[in-house]
């Protein structure tokens, strides 16, 4: 039987709460051993070495003197006899490749990490991942797993763990290393069964935390959840040929129960936090935030935006399970429902109903909308410029990060470079000379080495060219000028009368709880003028409004329009992927912060108002925003008709003030709730067809004659 006689130094790679607790267990029970810890955070290293505690991850617990910490991976591994990996699962492969440089094939390797890794597009367990990075370790890696809250272990609560490995010698070394009178190790050669149990229980614990704070959910439903999760764990275990008895042992069922129900469980707390944010999500600014908003809007915006990323960790934990199940055609409805709630923002009712009746998951899923919360209030008057840094950051992240995601080929580096080069060759991409020169210079010099920096520079150029500079005072002046001009034109007999009709009452009833996007037909480049006037006179929520770059010919015009609340779109640039995503993120951020929009989905006017050339990418933008922010978006179709044809040619002679002489009839149709389409994967096409249908059916005039509805109102 192997002994610890030749073991002098043990390294724990990772200094989280569990890694620290194991270092304490070994350090206290084997005081003659040297325990070295590697930590990424300098503050953690300083705390361990100077204060003898890990104040960040395991505060209040004394760390033995034979335990030391360092930020140097090389230093922590030199002359190490046993290495225990305790990092997050997503960096196990990279850290294992680095570890390989500093250890020999005589070093025993174990791990405390739970989860899956993706290596070369293949989903691997932790032991498989370590073996892929360190080939000579295959068959010798040891897993340590079981119901083991760090808070209980360091306080010497009785604990049972599985120590698993195909090779008996390293398995026994690790078991002896961590065994104490209060910590019992059970050895097994079913390493895949042990690590699968430890991995699969985590999402189930998140689900348990979620339902624990949802209305009418208690211990009864928690018991059903654990039962159903265990069934699905057994199905997934077959993929890795794990033994059934291992899954129902301590590292499977035992760990599932402990993690799902314990107050110490981080996964359970994570689930509770998600549900609390869904149920009690705060959208209105308090008094202090409203005060600060007037002087430093960027601070409040940044603070509120950070709250939107809380779902990422849960989605990461469960996504590989869904891929595995789909690949092997295994039905796991409870895990799938959790995935849909976390990643696709479905209502938590999907999880509850699936636990109750997993056999009807498809039917339940087909009628479940996404979870909708109230819109943010209090940011309606913040200028778009205040969001510029957020918009740029998200655009760059989306373009540069997506290339590493196997399921998203839209933004591969090669495609982006190719599309940008094609855009440069297209002479139709009209723009200001100054902007175009900078743009062409950046794109023409774009290559693999300067890729990320170039994308950031382009995104900054485009976001600045699009974003509004809304000023309440100037917006008021803009509206008053229109009102005064219409009145003068009316009394002078020069037409200029606006007639509006439609769903005024319905629109005014919903503006407190939803984000409104007006989607009008587009007959003239200057349609935004009568539309803005009608919205203001109808006392509807006033939007940031679409203005085509084709009529903004000078820097002065651009400045004035943006101050009034206009954002400027260059239709010729929509083939440029960076420009398109910059616009998409601007729209998304406006929606996220409760700011209404007026957007022409056609981009180019159609004087007959037929609505033929709708850009489908606009509906893709807003559906993506709906799922990202779970704030209800309502589309208000608007039909605009003129007594006579508006100017078709773009001319310097056709000014904004001249367009005020046009006599227009504007109809506001019934609001369309986008959440009604979240049960269907084909929602974008559906919304597109419905908008076109509403435009056609509700249009006041198709031939420039007047034909008012019975509920007309004259301004």
Catalytic residues: 201
The angle that helices 333-342 and 219-237 make with each other, rounded to 10 degrees, is 110
Greatest Cα pair distance, the chain, in angstroms, is: 107
Q: Are the C-beta atoms of residues 197 and 171 closer than 8 Å to each other?
A: no
Q: Are the C-beta atoms of residues 17 and 57 closer than 8 Å to each other?
A: yes
- Three-state secondary structure call for residue 72: coil
b/e sequence 338-369, b meaning 16+ C-beta within 10 Å: bbbbbbebbbbbbbbbbbeebeebeebbeebb
Q: How far apart are CA 33 and CA 80, in angstroms?
A: 11
Q: How far apart are CA 38 and CA 617, in angstroms?
A: 47
34 strand-pairing partners: 9
Query: Closest by alpha carbon to 410, among 624, 613, 567, 631?
Result: 624
Q: How far apart are CA 485 and CA 488, in angstroms?
A: 5
Query: Closest by alpha carbon to 107, among 132, 129, 85?
Result: 85
Query: Closest by alpha carbon to 196, among 259, 148, 227, 241?
Result: 241
- Judging by beta carbons within 10 Å of its beta carbon (0-12, 13-18, 19+), is residue 63 exposed, middle or buried? buried
187: CB partners within 8 A, 6+ apart:
162, 163, 164, 171, 172, 175
| The two structure tokens encoding residue 300 | 């409040």
Distance of CA 445 to the CA centre of its chain: 32
User: Rounded to 5 degrees, what are φ and ψ at 455?
Assistant: -60, -40
Q: How far apart are CA 482 and CA 477, in angstroms?
A: 9
Which residue matches tokens 């629109």? 507
Residue 92, CA distances (Å) to 102, 117, 118, 158, 191 in order: 16, 8, 10, 29, 17
Q: How far apart are CA 174 and CA 495, in angstroms?
A: 89
Q: Are the C-beta atoms of residues 407 and 323 closer than 8 Å to each other?
A: no
Q: How far apart are CA 363 and CA 354, in angstroms?
A: 10
Distance of CA 453 to the CA centre of its chain: 23
Q: How far apart are CA 226 and CA 151, in angstroms?
A: 23
715: CB partners within 8 A, 6+ apart:
486, 497, 498, 499, 500, 533, 534, 537
| The two structure tokens encoding residue 221 | 């439903």
Please give the DSSP secondary-structure letter assigned to residue 360.
G
Which residue matches tokens 């209404």? 596
| The two structure tokens encoding residue 577 | 């992927």
Measured from the Cβ of residue 712, the count of other Cβ atoms closer than 10 Å reads 14
| The two structure tokens encoding residue 15 | 């200094």
């Amino acid at each position: 039987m192997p002994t610890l006689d030749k073991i002098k130094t043990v390294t724990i790679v990772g200094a989280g709460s569990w890694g620290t607790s194991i270092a304490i267990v070994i350090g206290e029970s084997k005081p003659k051993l040297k325990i070295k810890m590697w930590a990424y955070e300098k503050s953690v290293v300083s705390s361990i070495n100077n204060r003898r505690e890990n104040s960040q991850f395991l505060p209040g617990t004394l760390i033995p003197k034979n335990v030391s910490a360092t930020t140097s991976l090389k230093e922590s591994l030199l002359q190490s006899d046993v290495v225990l990996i305790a990092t997050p699962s997503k960096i196990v492969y990279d850290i294992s490749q680095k570890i390989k440089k500093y250890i020999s094939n005589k070093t025993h390797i174990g791990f405390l990490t739970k989860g899956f890794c993706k290596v070369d597009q293949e989903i691997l367990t932790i032991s498989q991942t370590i073996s892929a990075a360190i080939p000579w370790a295959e068959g010798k890696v040891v897993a340590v797993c079981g119901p083991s809250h760090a808070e209980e272990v360091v306080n010497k609560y009785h604990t049972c763990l599985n120590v698993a490995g195909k090779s008996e010698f390293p398995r026994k070394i690790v078991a002896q290393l961590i065994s104490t009178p209060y910590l019992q190790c059970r050895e097994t050669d079913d390493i895949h069964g042990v690590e699968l149990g430890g991995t699969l229980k985590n999402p189930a614990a998140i689900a348990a935390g979620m339902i624990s704070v949802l209305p009418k959910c208690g211990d009864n439903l928690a018991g059903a959840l654990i039962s159903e999760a265990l069934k699905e764990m057994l199905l997934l275990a077959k993929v890795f040929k794990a033994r059934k008895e291992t899954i129902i042992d301590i590292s499977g069922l035992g760990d599932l129960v402990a993690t799902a129900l314990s107050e110490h469980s981080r996964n359970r707390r994570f689930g509770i936090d998600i549900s609390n944010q869904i149920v009690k999500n705060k959208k209105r600014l308090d008094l202090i935030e409203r005060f600060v908003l007037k002087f430093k809007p960027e601070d409040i915006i940044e603070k509120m935006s950070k709250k939107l990323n809380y779902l990422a960790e849960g989605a990461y934990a469960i996504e590989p399970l869904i891929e595995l199940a789909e690949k092997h055609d295994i039905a796991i409805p409870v895990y799938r429902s959790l995935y849909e709630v976390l990643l696709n923002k479905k209502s938590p009712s999907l999880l509850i109903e699936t636990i109750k009746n997993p056999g009807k998951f498809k039917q339940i899923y087909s009628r479940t909308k996404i979870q909708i919360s109230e819109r943010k209030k209090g940011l309606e008057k913040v200028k778009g410029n205040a969001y510029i840094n957020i918009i740029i950051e998200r655009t760059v992240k989306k373009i540069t990060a997506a290339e590493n995601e196997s399921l998203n080929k839209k933004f591969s580096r090669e495609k982006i470079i190719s599309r940008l080069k094609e855009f440069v060759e297209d002479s139709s991409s009209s723009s200001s000379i100054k902007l175009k020169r900078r743009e062409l210079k950046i794109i023409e010099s774009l290559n693999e080495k300067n890729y990320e920096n170039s994308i950031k520079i382009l995104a900054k150029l485009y976001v600045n060219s699009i974003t509004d500079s809304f000023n309440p005072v100037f917006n008021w002046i803009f509206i008053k000028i229109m009102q005064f001009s219409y009145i003068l034109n009316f009394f002078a007999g020069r037409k200029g009368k606006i007639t509006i009709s439609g769903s005024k009452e319905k629109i005014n009833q919903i503006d407190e709880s939803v984000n409104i996007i007006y989607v009008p037909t587009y007959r003239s480049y200057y349609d935004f003028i009568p539309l803005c006037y009608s919205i203001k006179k109808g006392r509807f929520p006033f939007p940031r409004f679409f203005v085509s770059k084709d009529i903004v010919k000078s820097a002065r015009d651009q400045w004035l329009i943006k101050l009034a609340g206009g954002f400027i779109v260059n239709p010729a640039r929509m083939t440029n992927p960076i420009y398109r995503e910059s616009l998409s993120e601007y729209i998304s951020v406006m929606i996220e912060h409760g700011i209404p929009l007026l957007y022409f989905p056609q981009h180019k006017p159609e004087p007959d108002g037929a609505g033929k050339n709708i850009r489908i990418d606009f509906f893709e933008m807003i559906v993506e925003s709906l799922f990202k922010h779970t704030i209800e978006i309502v589309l208000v179709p608007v039909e605009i008709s003129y007594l006579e044809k508006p100017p078709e040619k773009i001319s310097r002679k056709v000014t904004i003030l001249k367009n005020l002489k046009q006599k227009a009839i504007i109809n506001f149709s019934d609001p369309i709730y986008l959440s009604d389409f979240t049960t269907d994967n084909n929602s974008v096409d559906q919304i597109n067809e419905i908008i076109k249908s509403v435009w056609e059916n509700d249009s006041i005039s198709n031939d420039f004659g007047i034909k008012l509805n019975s509920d007309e109102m004259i301004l």
